[in-house]
Amino acid sequence: MSVTKLGKFAVIGLSAAWIAGCSTTATDTDSSTVAEDANSTEQANENTDQAFGAGQDGAMTSVIVDESAATNDNGMDSLAGVQTVFYFDFDKSIVRPESREALAKHAEYLVSHPDARIVLEGHADERGTREYNMALGERRAKAISRYLTIQGVAASQIETVSFGEEVPVAFGHDSNAWQLNRRVEVRYE
């Protein structure tokens, strides 16, 4: 096969992939719907169960929202106000005593909801090498994971990942910023 034929096949294949990637399908219940504006008396007078959003070409669409489905049937409201970010001391991966109560609540929820899954995202401050900080973030996430499994959470419900120093929440170069970056974040999937 000559080089020109191979080039033509590559161009045709890339064009087909580009066209397929650009195609979209829209439905009446896609993610373009938005919650109803509580202050809008016109919409509230019509029907309080509707949500309005922009459809294709900017056209206004409405979707019926079942209020019972809008409330948290999965029990996540029991975790409202519960801490989801846990901080660590410099160069340590030991769960602090003040974190244990919140972690116990997360464990209680996970045990009572075996289909729930969490991701524990470990982080470190900027001090240390990238490799060291990746390992430290992993140790911190694993420490939270061990604490949860001791409380009865199935290991299959927990995923750990380390970002090391790559995703800071504070961009300063002082002890306050470093403290905020030494953390594990709990994210429910």
Q: What is the CATH number of the domain that holds 113?
A: 3.30.1330.60
Counted residue by residue, the chain has a size of 189
Higher pLDDT, 77 or 108: 108
The pair phi, psi for residue 143, each rounded to 5°, is -65, -45
Q: Which domain holds residue 123?
A: 76-188
Contact present, 155 and 149 (Cβ < 8 Å): yes
In a domain, 2, yes or no: no
In a domain, 125, yes or no: yes
In a domain, 156, yes or no: yes
pLDDT of 105 higher than 60: yes
Which pLDDT value is given to residue 79? 83
Number of domains into which the chain is organized: 2
Instruction: Tell me the two tokens of residue 188.
Output: 């429910």
pLDDT of 43 higher than 90: no
pLDDT of 142 higher than 90: yes
pLDDT class of 77 with cuts at 50, 70, 90: confident
Question: Are residues 63 and 82 both part of a single domain?
Answer: no
The answer for 48, left when phi > 0, alpha when psi is -120 to 50, beta otherwise, is: alpha
- Regarding pTM above 0.85, the answer is no
Q: Is 126 helix (H, G, I), strand (E, B) or coil?
A: coil
Cα gap 98→26, rounded to integer Å: 48
Cα gap 54→45, rounded to integer Å: 20
Question: Are residues 88 and 177 both part of a single domain?
Answer: yes
Which pLDDT value is given to residue 38? 38
Q: In the chain, pLDDT over 90 holds for what percent of residues?
A: 56
pLDDT class of 76 with cuts at 50, 70, 90: confident
Higher pLDDT, 41 or 158: 158
pLDDT of 11 higher than 90: no
Least confident of 20-34, 77-91, 125-139: 20-34
Measure Cα distances from 157 to 57, 72, 100, 133 in Å.
41, 20, 19, 25
Instruction: Tell me the two tokens of residue 103.
Output: 């972690």
pLDDT of 100 higher than 70: yes
Question: Are residues 91 and 169 both part of a single domain?
Answer: yes
Instruction: Tell me the two tokens of residue 115.
Output: 């289909």
Instruction: Tell me the two tokens of residue 60.
Output: 């206004």
Mean pLDDT of 158-178: 94
Which pLDDT value is given to residue 80? 84
pLDDT of 20 higher than 60: no
What type of residue is 62? S
Look at strands 118-123 and 85-87 and give their pairing.
Answer: unpaired
pLDDT of 164 higher than 60: yes
Mean pLDDT of 168-186: 94
Question: Are residues 92 and 163 both part of a single domain?
Answer: yes
